[in-house]
Structure 1
Amino acid sequence: MERSETASAEEINASTTTSRTSLDVLPKRELNSELYRLDGTPYPPTLRLALIIGGVCLGNLVYALDANIIATAIPAITTQFKSLTDVGWYGSAFLLTSTAFQPSYGKLYKYFDIKWTYIVTLLIFELGSIICALAKNSSTFIAGRAIQGLGSAGILQGALAIIGDCVPLSKRTLFIALVTSIFGVATCFGPILGGVFTDSSLGWRWCFCNLPIGAFTIGASTFCFQPSSRKSGTNLTPWEKLSQLDLPGAVVLLSSVSCLFLVLQWGGNMYAWDSPRIIGLLCGFVLLFIAFMALQFWVGENATVPPRIIRQRSIFGSCLYSFFVACVLYTHTFYLPFYFQSIQGATPTQSGVRGIPYAIFNALGAVISGGVILYIGYYTPFMVLGGIVSAVGSGLIHLLNANSPATQWVGYQVIAGLGTGFGIQIPFTVVQAVLSDEDKPIGNGIGVFFQLLGGAISIAITQSLFTNGLLKYVPEYVPGIPPKMVIMAGAGNLPAVVGGNPILLQGLIMAYAKSISRAFILPIVTAVVMVLVCAIMEHKRRMPTRKEVAAKKASEKVVTGGVPV
């Protein structure tokens, strides 16, 4: 009897202990996923989160500004370095490394600590900025731009990874919209700042003096951000982690993208499109890209772009969407300044100011779509809406001519800016909703890669359309003026081409307007394709709504057995 009572008491104690232990070790995300991360650690409190998000937003701002600020500073740089033949590399060196290393950074963020990987990318970017600011010749400047691009490849991905680690899933859409909207703002304000620095006594080198902002971002990330524990690579040595990065794949991809960028840089400018050099580079790009894809399937799970991720229906569709929305955005932001400067006679700074409506409503569209998705839980409708509004806005911008009043070029920018804003951040929202936490860094890297690739290819295509337009319309509107002379003169020197003759100048402006209108055809086509791509997406709700979050919070106040949380 005594033994029975003792056994019974021991069973009760064991049962109580087990119950308490099971409650203690129960992942806190099951208790309240709005307060706890997957490893059971709490999400950062409001003040710390504000500093973290503020830091990554400033980091993205610096990256986006430096990608665009150089546009109005290039004439002064080429004058100082006497390097007109290198002008294309000032932008291409940045885009080349930034695009090629996007997938590799996805693997880095998966297997290495998010915080320190992000900080290292910022330091690399700042190193490139210092080299550019102190450059004494064109070669050094190009090297600095390449290093900047290498660092920038991990900045946006780092911001998205930090948001995924610091913000509950139900709120990530809005924060992603906030971070990505900064790119639209910087795209238009970058050239303005570049013009202000270049035209002032400070000079173009101040375009790269971003150390104070970078220091704040590094400080906020160092002292405020504490990443959750990772599942991937926890049992791997540093050497084993490096072996997971698929370095051969990264080298082949870099080689392939290099061939593509050389084609885009040289084709139609230094060499004819049908020249042996350009054809050889195109063949090299295609063959190397095929080799890269074959290598990815052969390597499998350790690939730079794991096949199982890109084969996921929504991820594949969102990557295509990211490519085409970038075609619309980059073409508008690149050629609207051409319209303002050549047709309206605006200075570089003035053309940047006139592009503000596009920037503001691009950012506003991203925030609106993020906020509405937060309530309804569906993102596909905004993908469709973004494509439709972008197509309408692009069609209206295509109609701009030399006599268009301000109400038209402002209003048309508002519509097009809203359209691209509605869709620009959704591919990254899809990554957050569809992929596991371990695969999200890779998904972000693939998405950014397609976005940058779309921007680079669209600029090359529109450049060809624009140049061929000048070759066609200059002889028609200004007989006797060699088209190549007009092309070499640049958008800001049209009066000098015709010697100040007002009649000839008016004809030249008409030829320029017709040529720019040809360039604006591409955004119309790609915006329509944006809508068609939405058919690939899975049409079901992926993001939790606020009502669901509130209901879940209420249900999580008490766990099994009535034990209060």
Structure 2
Amino acid sequence: MSAPTQDSVPKDEPTPPQVSDVEKTLGGPSDSESSSLSSAGKPVAEVSKVRWMLSCLGLFLGALLYGLDTTIAASVQGPILESLGEIDKLAWVGIGFPMGAVAVILLIGRFYGLFEIKYLMIGAVITFEAGSALCGAAPSMNAMIVGRVIAGMGGAGMYLGALTYISIFTPLATRPIYNALIGLCWGTGCILGPLIGGGFAVSSATWRWAFYINLPLAAALSPIYIFLFPKHCSTPSQPTTTKLREIDWLGVTLNAAVFTLFQVVLTFSGSTWKWTEAGPIALWAAFGVCLIAYMIQQFFCIFTTPTHRIFPVHFLKSRTMILLYVGTAAAATGLAIGVYYVPIFFQFTRGDSAIKAAIRLLPFIVLNVFFVMFSGAVLPMVGRYAPFYLGTGIFCIIGGALMYGIDVHTSVGKIYGYEILLAIGSGLTMQVAYSVAVAKVPKEDAQNAIGFINTAQIGTIAISLSIAASIFQNRGYINLRGALQGFGFSEDELRGALSGVQSAVLQGGNADVTAKAIDAIVKTVDDIWIMSIAAGAVAFICGAAMKWEKVNMEMVAGG
């Protein structure tokens, strides 16, 4: 891993006379006054090797914490429910985090293109820590949900900030490696999330420290954030008021409303509200209105301009950009379903504790992270990106189909093998699009490309978890009701069995009832694996439809 160099200047453009040679950049003991060009074509002050390495440490830690909070809810939902109650809101412990992220990700991306990135990054860390603190101290489920949403907003800023720093301060030739390292740290956080959450859940510290743990970790590296992070602003001479006026605030509002309404109505319909009630019908109608309004507003640039609209609509004219978006969304779906529902399967079928179920997830996460790194290392060498998406499709289809066929009697070894196939599939293309998209668009569109792909990745995690939660709650209740008909269980007791906590259904002492309930729940989880199969099919189609071309990672290609 090298410090930033002037290689980020496209080789087919004149080299600015003030750029020093690579050796000077790598060997300089301190920041140089000279500059190179960022991927957006703006002058970038050179950074010494030591300072850049320490800055990377801060960026990678941010990605790790973001990954930690992405999966930590998978192993602490039961203890949180026992402490705070309100089972109808339990799904939001997992969904709230990515929902907060996707609601603001395009706005944050625009901010990174207008304002000083160092201060934005520090603000994102503070927001993330504030949300984590609220989650740890939450007196109610509502406070927990608010904390998760706030933490998701801050986490999105940290993650996008890391990608922005890399797009500005690294050459295209090594950028896939840096992006892969971000993926590695994020994946490491995903590994530690269930383990840390499960460990705290069964300790005297309680589940609350699963969220408090973020505070000392970020505090330890706060000197790096404050004193060492390099500064960069693409529009340093533009007044702040002018920058704020350039923001497409109507588009920002409609974007957040579309994602939020969709997830709220999808999560609560059928479990909290009956599908035919006025509440969900009204919310579905509101979602439809907001979606149509958003599309019209963006297409016709109402109260904005083509340059400043929040969604990069012009990317929709590019087959490559659309396929990169959809392919990334497919990989994110495979990841999200695996991370959340492999532990759930083992908790119900093997009676695992939270931490033991998290350990069962290790083959999935470790292989996923390995193939994130593998694709990041291989992409610059082979140049072609379509094969990675074909691989994602093949492995996710096979792995999802095998997971769909498991039952309570399937051996643990076979399940590990099946989840590894899913891990390979989702890992191959989790980060690839970040490098390819930036290389395929004009330099001034680099920030838009990062936000575009980030919306596909983070937004799909939120949406796929919402869909999966809806299936689990609705199909699970139907399957339990059918399996236990005649045993006299109430609707609340049947829904309580889906939470994985001590319940009258699973802990009532009747072996026949327990066996029937577990079979019904496993059947429900099987239905969720269909999403992985569908995601694999989508990824394969994307790979087959992509241009069979090589992208030169050493130079910026036109869109």
* Deviates most, 191-200 or 132-141: 132-141
Q: Which amino acid aligns with 2:338?
A: H
Q: Which amino acid aligns with 1:240?
A: T
Alignment of 1:220 with 2:211, yes or no, is: no
Question: What whole-Å deviation, never above 9, does each CA across 1:170-205 have from its counterpart, x for those lacking one?
Answer: 011111112123333333431221121121111222
* Deviates most, 378-387 or 236-245: 378-387
Residue in structure 1 matched with residue 538 of structure 2 by the alignment: 529
- Determine what percentage of the aligned residue pairs are the same residue: 26
Alignment of 1:51 with 2:54, yes or no, is: yes
Question: What whole-Å deviation, never above 9, does each CA across 1:501-550 have from its counterpart, x for those lacking one?
Answer: 333333332222222212111110111111112345343222337xx99x
Quote the offset at 1:242 in angstroms: 0.8
Cα 1:49/1:234, change in 2 over 3 Å: closer
What SS class does the counterpart of residue 37 from structure 1 fall into?
Answer: strand
Quote the offset at 1:314 in angstroms: 2.0
Cα distance in structure 2, aligned partners of 1:429 and 1:60: 17
Question: Please, which runs of 5 or more residues in structure 2 have no aligned partner?
Answer: 1-13, 27-34
* Deviates most, 114-123 or 184-193: 184-193
* Deviates most, 500-509 or 160-169: 500-509
| Conservation of the 8 A alpha-carbon contact between 2:60 and 2:182 | yes
- Selected match of 1:512 from 521, 527, 530: 521
Q: Which amino acid aligns with 1:413?
A: E
Q: How does 1:77-476 map to 2 (within 5 A)?
A: 77-209=80-212, 210-228=214-232, 230=234, 233-297=235-299, 298=301, 299=304, 300-471=306-477, 473-474=479-480
Cα distance in structure 2, aligned partners of 1:501 and 1:80: 26
Cα 1:303/1:536, change in 2 over 3 Å: farther
Q: Which amino acid aligns with 1:26?
A: P
Cα 1:451/1:108, change in 2 over 3 Å: same
| Conservation of the 8 A alpha-carbon contact between 1:198 and 1:204 | yes
| Conservation of the 8 A alpha-carbon contact between 2:343 and 2:361 | yes
What SS class does the counterpart of residue 429 from structure 2 fall into?
Answer: helix
Residue in structure 1 matched with residue 72 of structure 2 by the alignment: 69
Cα distance in structure 2, aligned partners of 1:250 and 1:526: 28
Quote the offset at 1:50 in angstroms: 2.4
Cα distance in structure 2, aligned partners of 1:181 and 1:488: 36
Quote the offset at 1:128 in angstroms: 1.9
* Deviates most, 313-322 or 489-498: 489-498
- Selected match of 2:512 from 503, 515, 525: 503
Cα 1:107/1:186, change in 2 over 3 Å: same
| Conservation of the 8 A alpha-carbon contact between 1:495 and 1:501 | no
| Conservation of the 8 A alpha-carbon contact between 2:331 and 2:425 | no
Cα distance in structure 2, aligned partners of 1:46 and 1:390: 40
Q: Which amino acid aligns with 1:411?
A: G
Q: Which amino acid aligns with 1:65?
A: L
Cα 1:33/1:189, change in 2 over 3 Å: same
Quote the offset at 1:59 in angstroms: 0.6
Question: What whole-Å deviation, never above 9, does each CA across 1:11-35 have from its counterpart, x for those lacking one?
Answer: xxxxxxxxxxxx9952638999997
Which structure's residues are more often helix, by fraction? 1
- Give the aligned length: 523
Cα distance in structure 2, aligned partners of 1:69 and 1:258: 22
Cα distance in structure 2, aligned partners of 1:369 and 1:186: 19
Cα distance in structure 2, aligned partners of 1:380 and 1:188: 28
Cα distance in structure 1, aligned partners of 2:504 and 2:348: 10
Question: What whole-Å deviation, never above 9, does each CA across 1:98-121 have from its counterpart, x for those lacking one?
Answer: 111011011001111122211111
Q: Which amino acid aligns with 1:268?
A: G
Question: What whole-Å deviation, never above 9, does each CA across 1:294-349 have from its counterpart, x for those lacking one?
Answer: 22221311101132234333222211122222222111212111210111211111
Q: Which amino acid aligns with 1:386?
A: T
Cα 1:289/1:27, change in 2 over 3 Å: farther
Cα distance in structure 2, aligned partners of 1:310 and 1:492: 45
In the superposition, the TM-score normalised over structure 1's length comes to: 0.85
Quote the offset at 1:422 in angstroms: 0.3
Which aligned runs of 4 or more in structure 1 are off by greater than 6 angstroms? Answer: 29-36
Cα 1:467/1:135, change in 2 over 3 Å: closer
Quote the offset at 1:219 in angstroms: 2.8
Cα distance in structure 2, aligned partners of 1:345 and 1:90: 22
| Conservation of the 8 A alpha-carbon contact between 1:28 and 1:40 | no
Cα 1:290/1:430, change in 2 over 3 Å: farther
* Deviates most, 420-429 or 316-325: 316-325
Q: Which has the larger radius of gyration?
A: 1
Alignment of 1:28 with 2:19, yes or no, is: yes
Cα distance in structure 2, aligned partners of 1:511 and 1:25: 67
Cα distance in structure 2, aligned partners of 1:118 and 1:40: 20
Cα distance in structure 1, aligned partners of 2:255 and 2:317: 19
Cα distance in structure 1, aligned partners of 2:350 and 2:504: 12
Cα distance in structure 2, aligned partners of 1:367 and 1:373: 10
Cα distance in structure 1, aligned partners of 2:151 and 2:74: 16
- Selected match of 2:497 from 469, 489, 504: 489
| Conservation of the 8 A alpha-carbon contact between 2:398 and 2:421 | yes
Alignment of 1:37 with 2:36, yes or no, is: yes
* Deviates most, 170-179 or 68-77: 68-77
| Conservation of the 8 A alpha-carbon contact between 2:472 and 2:525 | yes
* Deviates most, 42-51 or 301-310: 42-51
Cα 1:29/1:373, change in 2 over 3 Å: farther
What SS class does the counterpart of residue 90 from structure 2 fall into?
Answer: helix
* Deviates most, 87-96 or 29-38: 29-38
* Deviates most, 32-41 or 535-544: 32-41
* Deviates most, 315-324 or 184-193: 184-193
Cα distance in structure 2, aligned partners of 1:356 and 1:47: 33
Q: Which amino acid aligns with 2:193?
A: G
What SS class does the counterpart of residue 318 from structure 1 fall into?
Answer: helix
CA-based RMSD of the aligned residues comes to 2.9
| Conservation of the 8 A alpha-carbon contact between 2:477 and 2:494 | no
Question: What whole-Å deviation, never above 9, does each CA across 1:450-489 have from its counterpart, x for those lacking one?
Answer: 2233223222333344445445544665552458433322
Quote the offset at 1:215 in angstroms: 2.9
